[in-house]
Structure 1
Amino acid sequence: MAESRTAVGESRDAPRPRRPRLGGRAAAWVAFVLVHLALVLLNLFAPGWPLGDVTAVYRVWAETAQLGVVRMGIDTPWVYPILAFAPMTAALAFGSAWYGQAWLVMVSLLDAVAFSLLLGRGTLSRRRRAAAWWWLAFLALLGPIALGRIDAVTVPIAMAGLLWAAGRPRVAAVLLTVATWVKVWPAALVAALLVASRRRFEVVTVAASLSLAIVGVSLLAGSGLNAFGFVAEQAGRGLQVEAPLAVPWLWWIVAGTDEATIAYDRGILTFQVEGPGADVAAALTTPLMLLGVAAVFLVGVRAARRGAAVVALLPPLALAFTTVLMLANKVGSPQFVTWLAAPVVLGIVLGGSRFLTPAALAAAIAVITHVIYPYWYAWLLIADPGFVLLLTLKVVLLGVLLAWSLRAVWQAGSDRRRRTAS
Structure 2
Amino acid sequence: MTTQQAPSLVPAGSRAAAVPLLALCGAWAATRLGMTVLLVTDDVGIGGVSTEVYVLYARWYGLLLGGSFPPDDPTWQYPPGAGAVILAPALFPWLTYFQAFALLALLADAVVTVALARAGGAAGGGVWLWTGGLPLLLHIPLARYDVQVTALAVLGLLALNGRPRLGGALAGLGAAVKLWPLLTVLGTPRGRTTRLVWASAAAAATASVAALALGLARPFGFLWQQGGRGVQIESLGGSALALVRLLGGAGRVEYRYGAFEFTGPHVPLVARASLLLTAAAFLLLLLWRLRARRWSGATPFDAALCAVLLFTVTSRVISPQYLIWLLGLAAVCLTSRHTSQRPVALLLLPATALSTLAYPVLYQDVIDVTPLGSGVVLVRNGLLLAAAVLSARRLWSATV
TM-score by structure 2 length? Answer: 0.88
Given the alignment of the two structures, is residue 211 of structure 1 paired with residue 205 of structure 2, yes or no? yes
CA displacement 1:206-229 (0-9 Å, x = unmatched): 112222212332342364xx4333
Question: Distance between the aligned counterparts of 2:287 and 2:246, measured in 1?
Answer: 39
Question: Distance between the aligned counterparts of 1:342 and 1:310, measured in 2?
Answer: 20
Higher relative contact order (CA 8 A, sep 6+): 1
Letter in 1 for 2:245: I
Question: Distance between the aligned counterparts of 2:395 and 2:353, measured in 1?
Answer: 26
Given the alignment of the two structures, is residue 109 of structure 1 paired with residue 100 of structure 2, yes or no? no
Q: Report if aligned partners of 2:333, 2:339 keep a CA contact under 8 Å in 1.
A: no
Which residue does 1:151 correspond to in 2?
Answer: 146
CA displacement 1:309-367 (0-9 Å, x = unmatched): 24242222111100111111112111111111222112111137854311210101101
Letter in 1 for 2:115: L
Task: For structure 1, list consecutive stretches of 5 or more residues without a partner in the other structure.
Answer: 1-15, 415-422
1:254 is displaced (CA, Å) by 1.8
Letter in 1 for 2:267: A
1:169 is displaced (CA, Å) by 1.3
Letter in 1 for 2:301: P
Question: Distance between the aligned counterparts of 2:94 and 2:328, measured in 1?
Answer: 31
Bigger Rg, which one: 2
Given the alignment of the two structures, is residue 277 of structure 1 paired with residue 266 of structure 2, yes or no? yes
Quick one: which of 171, 174, 178 aligns to 1:176?
A: 171
Q: Report if aligned partners of 2:129, 2:327 keep a CA contact under 8 Å in 1.
A: no
Question: Distance between the aligned counterparts of 1:74 and 1:209, measured in 2?
Answer: 27
Distance change (3 Å), C-alpha of 1:317 and 1:382 = same
Quick one: which of 6, 17, 29 aligns to 2:25?
A: 29
Which residue does 1:366 correspond to in 2?
Answer: 352
Which residue does 1:186 correspond to in 2?
Answer: 181
Quick one: which of 223, 237, 241 aligns to 1:249?
A: 241
Distance change (3 Å), C-alpha of 1:396 and 1:35 = same
Task: For structure 2, list consecutive stretches of 5 or more residues without a partner in the other structure.
Answer: 1-11
Which residue does 1:237 correspond to in 2?
Answer: 229
Question: Distance between the aligned counterparts of 1:143 and 1:222, measured in 2?
Answer: 34
Letter in 2 for 1:64: L
1:200 is displaced (CA, Å) by 0.4
Q: Percent identity?
A: 25
1:290-305 aligned at under 5 Å gives the runs 290-303=279-292
The number of residue pairs the alignment matches comes to 385
Which residue does 2:375 correspond to in 1?
Answer: 389
CA displacement 1:241-263 (0-9 Å, x = unmatched): 11111111111222234x21111
Question: Distance between the aligned counterparts of 1:125 and 1:249, measured in 2?
Answer: 44
1:92 is displaced (CA, Å) by 4.2
Q: Report if aligned partners of 1:59, 1:96 keep a CA contact under 8 Å in 2.
A: no
Letter in 2 for 1:45: T
Question: Distance between the aligned counterparts of 1:280 and 1:302, measured in 2?
Answer: 33
Distance change (3 Å), C-alpha of 1:355 and 1:405 = closer
Q: Report if aligned partners of 1:74, 1:227 keep a CA contact under 8 Å in 2.
A: no
Quick one: which of 42, 45, 63 aligns to 2:38?
A: 42
Aligned residue for 1:186, secondary structure, equals: helix
Q: Report if aligned partners of 2:185, 2:300 keep a CA contact under 8 Å in 1.
A: no
Question: Distance between the aligned counterparts of 1:275 and 1:76, measured in 2?
Answer: 24
Which residue does 2:3 correspond to in 1?
Answer: none
Q: Report if aligned partners of 1:196, 1:314 keep a CA contact under 8 Å in 2.
A: no
Letter in 2 for 1:362: L
Which residue does 1:88 correspond to in 2?
Answer: 86
Letter in 1 for 2:305: L
Question: Distance between the aligned counterparts of 2:165 and 2:132, measured in 1?
Answer: 30
Question: Distance between the aligned counterparts of 1:18 and 1:384, measured in 2?
Answer: 55
Question: Distance between the aligned counterparts of 2:171 and 2:22, measured in 1?
Answer: 29
Comparing 276-285 with 30-39, which one deviates more in the overlay? 276-285
Which residue does 2:4 correspond to in 1?
Answer: none
Quick one: which of 68, 81, 84 aligns to 1:71?
A: 68
Which residue does 2:57 correspond to in 1?
Answer: 58
Question: Distance between the aligned counterparts of 1:353 and 1:163, measured in 2?
Answer: 13
Question: Distance between the aligned counterparts of 1:65 and 1:231, measured in 2?
Answer: 18
1:135 is displaced (CA, Å) by 0.9
Aligned residue for 1:373, secondary structure, equals: helix
Q: Report if aligned partners of 1:92, 1:98 keep a CA contact under 8 Å in 2.
A: no
Aligned residue for 1:309, secondary structure, equals: coil
TM-score by structure 1 length? Answer: 0.84
Letter in 1 for 2:200: V
Comparing 86-95 with 287-296, which one deviates more in the overlay? 86-95
Given the alignment of the two structures, is residue 261 of structure 1 paired with residue 252 of structure 2, yes or no? yes
Q: Report if aligned partners of 1:237, 1:282 keep a CA contact under 8 Å in 2.
A: no
1:285 is displaced (CA, Å) by 2.8
1:26 is displaced (CA, Å) by 2.5
Distance change (3 Å), C-alpha of 1:297 and 1:149 = same
Letter in 1 for 2:235: A
